Chains A and B, each alone.
Chain A
Amino acid sequence: MADLAESRLAPSEPLKPPASSTGVIGWLRANLFSSVWNSILTLIALYFLAVTVPKAVDWLLVDATWQAANGRECMAAAGGACWAAIGEKWRFILFGRFPYEEHWRPLIVCVVFVALFLASCDRRLWGMPLLAIWAAGLALNALLMWGGVFGMTYVDTSLWNGLPLTLILAVIGMAGAFPLAIVLALGRRSHMPAVRAVCVAYIELIRGVPLVTLLFMATVMLPLFLPPGITIDKLLRAQVAIILFAAAYLAEVIRGGLQSIPRGQYEAADALGLGYWQKTRLIILPQALTVVIPALVNTFIGTFKDTALVIIIGLFDLLMLANAAMTDPNWRGFATEAYLFVAAIYWAFCWFMSKYSQWLEADLNKGRRR
């Protein structure tokens, strides 16, 4: 009897799930072959991969030429990519016409910029410490780019090429646009109709036209705008155009943040007896800007990509240098390789920033997530 009772009460060995629903096979069935339609899709995708991936790998790696004295040797070798051309030209594509022996200077500038980006990712530094770090970093970069002191030769801005140029245009563009954008965003939300009209007109005018026209305006019309005798160098003109352009987009982002602040915050600030500027500086902006940080990062990515447009006014950014590098008669005809090299650089920056923005958005919303 006791035996029977024991066997009844003892839990029986649990049944294993069917072999077809676990392990690799189970995963495949659930994710790739869950239905007829899904199986067809999987097969189409596999066929597509089978056609493209081997070809791409062959061209990029297997048949590629890594060492060659000049372009003709590359052409004569197997039909793959000619990375020897990049090996020969990478310093030109990255730093352009900056004096060759001084290339360590733009290199350090790029490293400093990357370090500044990384420092900005750390939320413990946000606020005054970060501002101080940026100010120091930018001062160091300006020193390194211009030179003229401590035995470094003076380098004209027309020789600021390649990656440092792209980074400078994007960073200064964003930094310069930021105060203007805050003013525009506040103005657009103002109760004074004339102020609102001016801000709306500016924002919509700039957002309605392509950056190309603004860059043209900066090169063709800015000299006409200024009193006779005053000239501005080309880099600064492009920089002004980028600042004016970015400010309009940034203003809309910040306006989004301002709109998300509940009315009660404004009323509470009024009740405390704060004036408009105190209210804005102490209560509204800190909250509004925190909300839009991910969107600010996205705007920065946009500005970073937009700097590639300065090619049309003849500034030597990465893209222009990739073009220029491949006009060398010894290395003609490897534009694809040069573009891929430049694309990889842009991609690395943008992808990292977009991932950071996504992570930050999730992190800032932690409190709201259920």
Chain B
Amino acid sequence: MAIDARQDGIRPSRASLVNDPNVRAIFYQVVIVGAVIALGWYLVHNTLENMARQGIAGGWGFLGREAAFEISETLIPYSPADTYGRAFLVGVLNTLHVAILGIIFATILGTFIGIARLSTNWLVKKLALVYVEIFRNIPLPLQLLFWWSWLREATPGPREAWHLMPGVWLSNRGLVYPVPVHDPVYLWMGAALLVGIAATIGVKRWAKRRQAETGQPFPTIWTGIGLIVGLPLVVFLLAGAPLTWSKPELKGFNFAGGASVTPEFTALLVGLVVYTAAFIGEIVRGGVQAVPWGQTEAAGALGLSRTQALRLVILPQALRIIVPPMTSQYLNITKNSSLAIVIGFPDLVSIANTTINQTGQAVEGIALIMAIYLTISLSISLFMNWYNRWVALVER
């Protein structure tokens, strides 16, 4: 009937529904979505059946049960008597810990490598090239195992530990270093730091407006450094400079006092940073090289100094090219931190693996890991997209 109605209608060219692109599109979509749903249903059905046969009870109840396994490194208090839920939390925090430190150090080292690749100094340039070519082309798991085995085998025991810097020792038990003993004044210093940052932002706005009105520049950078470093320092000195160090000392077979990081954590962090810095170096180099030379010349012609040209002309343009690939490198660091499992660092995946082995809750365990990684990835993407919009070209 519908066909007849169309044939009688105003558009005789559409001979039949079969040739109507819209109808076809709807038909295809229904088929594809139907196939996806059928596949999903089939998998779920099989899974439920298999779980029933193997006597695995589904559900999230296991998160409240006692974990009964040790975790070698924790940021929050944890004991085997705690629940699986808390063990997962420990794992998430460990993953975030190594990912955040990794992102910070890899950015610093990578920027350094990228700038070295652009250096006019032949030797520096070639050294940076060798670094990039070596570390980019070796799989990360291999690098992690290499650092880990080197840290355990090539370094001496605590008694003969290498004295790297005053108070800093490296042994096969990891790296130990002194930390200041906590004092209430430090909280006030933190507050002063925040005030300093807020004041710097205020000064920057004021300086920009004044420059727009009168043309007079203001040394914002130096004022900012003064405020951000100076204010906490003043608080520190006013409070009578309360600084006592907790220094690591050899007691018996190991160090006591200070703070320490295990060989596993060190190897993971070093591996992630060294590997990713090679990629970030190439991104930074590419970004800076992509800014046409004419921009540098034009900045010079306007009378900007080299630093001003870099800060006001070159970097803003280079950042536009650098930020999107940098985002995927940050995501890579976060995802690659899951390789901790090959060297036994208790990150999220490694703890989830232990949990799955103990409880048999494979589906829930893997769903939880995926959900957590997706959340982290999405958060980093959102933040970097926001930052990208901030540096992006404002077009008319």
Contact = CB atoms under 8 A, between A and B. Distances in A.
Contact of B353 (A216, A228, A339): A216
B50 interface: yes
A195 interface: yes
B1 interface: no
A279 interface: no
Contacts of A339: 142, 145-146, 149
A111 to B, nearest CB: 21
B378 A208 contact: yes
A210 B349 contact: yes
A336 interface: yes
A163 to B, nearest CB: 13
A48 B134 CA distance: 17
B53 A228 contact: yes
B336 A311 contact: no
Interface in B356-396: 356, 362-363, 366, 369-370, 373-374, 377-378
B216 interface: no
A121 to B, nearest CB: 17
Given A212-B338, A224-B47, A319-B145, A350 B137 contact: yes
Contact of A210 (B29, B33, B335): B335
Given A38-B121, A210-B336, A351 B133 contact: yes
B70 interface: no
A226 B50 CA distance: 8
Contacts of A213: 338, 349, 366, 369-370, 373
B46 interface: yes
A28 B150 CA distance: 37
B362 A333 contact: no
Interface stretch (A112-120, A134-142, A144-152, A340-348): A340-348
A335 to B, nearest CB: 4
Given A194-B33, A198-B33, A339-B149, A216 B119 contact: no
Contacts of B353: 216
B29 A194 contact: yes
Contact of A45 (B25, B123, B339, B370): B123
A193 B150 CA distance: 53
A312 interface: yes
A142 to B, nearest CB: 25
A346 to B, nearest CB: 6
A212 B121 contact: no
A209 B142 CA distance: 21
A221 B369 CA distance: 13
Contacts of B339: 210, 212, 309
Contacts of B378: 208
B366 A217 contact: yes
A299 interface: no
B253 to A, nearest CB: 21
Contacts of B138: 305, 343, 346-347, 350
A200 B150 CA distance: 42
Contacts of A340: 146
B384 to A, nearest CB: 14
A336 B49 contact: no
Interface in A175-208: 191-195, 198, 205, 207-208
A342 B51 CA distance: 40
Contacts of B154: 336
Contacts of B341: 212, 312
B47 A225 contact: yes
B138 to A, nearest CB: 5
Nearest to B366: A217
Nearest to B376: A208
A223 interface: yes
A216 B361 CA distance: 13
B83 to A, nearest CB: 22
A27 to B, nearest CB: 8
B382 to A, nearest CB: 12
B96 to A, nearest CB: 14
A336 B149 CA distance: 7
A32 interface: yes
Contacts of B33: 194, 198
Contacts of A193: 29
A7 B233 CA distance: 77
B217 to A, nearest CB: 26
Interface string B101-135: 00000000000000000011111100100000110
Given A42-B121, A301-B137, 16 more contacts: A32-B123, A41-B119, A45-B121, A193-B29, A194-B29, A205-B370, A212-B338, A212-B341, A213-B338, A213-B370, A308-B140, A336-B154, A343-B138, A343-B143, A346-B138, A347-B138
18 contacts: A32-B122, A41-B119, A194-B32, A195-B28, A205-B374, A210-B339, A216-B369, A220-B362, A221-B366, A226-B46, A228-B53, A308-B140, A308-B141, A311-B141, A335-B149, A336-B153, A346-B137, A346-B142
Nearest 6 pairs of A and B residues by beta carbon:
A350-B137, A308-B139, A31-B122, A194-B29, A210-B335, A305-B139
